[in-house]
Amino acid sequence: MISNQLTNKRVLLGVTGGIAAYKSAEICRRLQDEGAEVRTAMTAAAQEFITPLTLQALSKNPVHLDLLDPETESAMGHIELARWADLILIAPASANFISRLAQGRGDDLLTAICLAADCKVAIAPAMNRSMWEKEVTQKNLAQTKSVGISVFAPGEGEQACGETGVGRLLDVPDIILLACELFETGVLSGKKVVVTAGPTREAIDPIRYISNHSSGKQGYAIAEAAAEAGANVVLISGPTNLPKPDRAQLIKVESAGQMLDAVLDQVPGTDVFISVAAVADFKTKLTAPNKIKKNVNGNLTIELSRTPDILSEVTKIKGNHLFTVGFAAETENLLENANSKLKEKKLDMIVANDVSDSEIGFNSDLNEATVLTPKTSINLPKANKTQLARNLIEIISEQLAGFGTDARARS
Ligand code: PMT
């Protein structure tokens, strides 16, 4: 299943020599499906099983082959590659490679990259079952694990050599799943997070409505990021064209009134409420039961009334346990207006979003914001909405740490 869990993640896929090397092409594709940017490096033995050209075509980048190749080293050397990557995934990892990794060798490109890396490193071993069972192999694996390298243990079954046992490269979807799990932070583990997203629609008559340009992208990305951080997530969404995030409960609503009811239902037991929805501020005072005919004389006047302010209703009843985060979509005086909303709505945090720039904000894939709390101001630089969501969740989790005490002190 594609869920973009590796969006903005840079994965260096290392391939070592073994018959399973041909599966690295599929691994490269599936990593990209999850949103990762992939570069590849191969040992000399790997090139006996699959050509660099295949991985070059799939990754759309030159394949790194030699430690001392002046051409690739001048473009991106092994140290730079190690710094570039968020994850180094060696799949398949042969017994020989694991042995050299365990010894901390750095005499070829892949071992040198692993030695220089500060990022996550994972290996997916693949070898003959006797080689896997050998005490020395198991010792090498224990050694690699002890220095923080993740091992995606091989599967059991028929092997290319004709034998049956443990040593087959783990199935590609399982490798991808484990790679994604490496980025799950767990910082919101055990927390219930409610997120609102998208626009609301306020009916004028059965076929017309008042609404806005919110696509739901930012709210859905925040729901995803909270789930990625281990939270139990409820996403309350106005009408959007987005697929349901994998690990969130989705409640679909249309109007501000319905959104308010759904939110109030969820408040008990909620630890964090994030109000990303662009709730319509006005609705018609009366909704026409039938389509309004255009043959009314001249202009049509519709009387509007305010919709409920969902955030304010939540802060009225929230007590000390619920951390409330609002968004402020502003076209002028961004920080000043956002700060006023932070105070007026009695929020714990507000995300100031300049929506005058068409590159960010409504309906765009990018966003940029400033996170304000009563005490701090943090800039979230321009990034895609997934990345911004991850950064925001990180900040919320940090604020939550001191929240109980701070909130009690304020009340
Ligand atoms: O959906 P996208 O296309 O990805 O765009 C994202 C976004 C621009 C909609 C989002 O980043 C954003 O800025 N959301 C807030 C939109 C908004 O309505 O801002 P506001 O300044 O009008 O409202 C302030 C806060 O009060 C918001 O948290 C809003 O959810 C909440 N509110 C507003 C009106 C209302 N009746 N009830 C509310 O709870």
pLDDT digits (tens, 9 = 90+) for 305-358: 999 999 999 999 988 889 999 999 999 999 999 999 999 999 999 999 999 999
What single letter denotes the amino acid at residue 361?
G
Q: Is the minimum distance from the CB of 311 to ligand 1 under 6 angstroms?
A: yes
Q: How far apart are CA 294 and CA 317, in angstroms?
A: 44
- 192-410 has the same fold as 10-181: yes
What local confidence, expressed as pLDDT, does residue 391 receive?
Answer: 93
Å from CA of 333 to ligand 1 middle: 16
Segment 119-123 shows an average pLDDT of 95
Å from CA of 312 to ligand 1 middle: 13
Atom of ligand 1 nearest to the CA of 353: 13
Helix, strand, coil % in the chain, rounded to nearest 5: 35, 25, 40
Tell me the two tokens of residue 186: 């767990």
Regarding beta strands 282-284 and 377-384, do their DSSP bridges make them parallel or antiparallel, or are they unpaired? unpaired
* Most ligand 1 atoms within 8 A of CB, residue of 253, 276, 350 to mutate: 276
Query: Average per-residue pLDDT in the chain?
Result: 93
For residue 126, pLDDT beyond 80: yes
Q: How far apart are CA 110 and CA 66, in angstroms?
A: 9
Atom of ligand 1 nearest to the CA of 341: 24
Q: How far apart are CA 345 and CA 135, in angstroms?
A: 63
Q: How far apart are CA 140 and CA 306, in angstroms?
A: 67
What residues contact 275, with CB distance under 8 A and at least 6 apart?
196, 310, 311, 314, 324, 325, 326, 327
pTM value is 0.77
Q: Would you list the domain boundaries of the chain?
A: 10-181, 192-410
Å from CA of 270 to ligand 1 middle: 20
Q: How far apart are CA 261 and CA 258, in angstroms?
A: 5
Angle, alpha carbons 391-392-398 (nearest 5°): 95
For residue 409, pLDDT beyond 60: no
Segment 218-236 shows an average pLDDT of 96
Regarding beta strands 232-237 and 248-252, do their DSSP bridges make them parallel or antiparallel, or are they unpaired? parallel
Segment 180-207 shows an average pLDDT of 95
Tell me if residue 161 is catalytic. yes
Atom of ligand 1 nearest to the CA of 256: 36
Tell me the two tokens of residue 10: 């840079």
Q: Is the minimum distance from the CB of 214 to ligand 1 under 6 angstroms?
A: yes
For residue 217, pLDDT beyond 90: yes
Residue nearest to atom 35 of ligand 1 (CA): 309
Q: How far apart are CA 153 and CA 125, in angstroms?
A: 7
In CATH, the architecture of 192-410 is 3-Layer(aba) Sandwich (3.40)
CATH number of 10-181: 3.40.50.1950
Q: How far apart are CA 379 and CA 139, in angstroms?
A: 46
Tokens 């009366």, located at residue = 286
Q: How far apart are CA 235 and CA 273, in angstroms?
A: 10
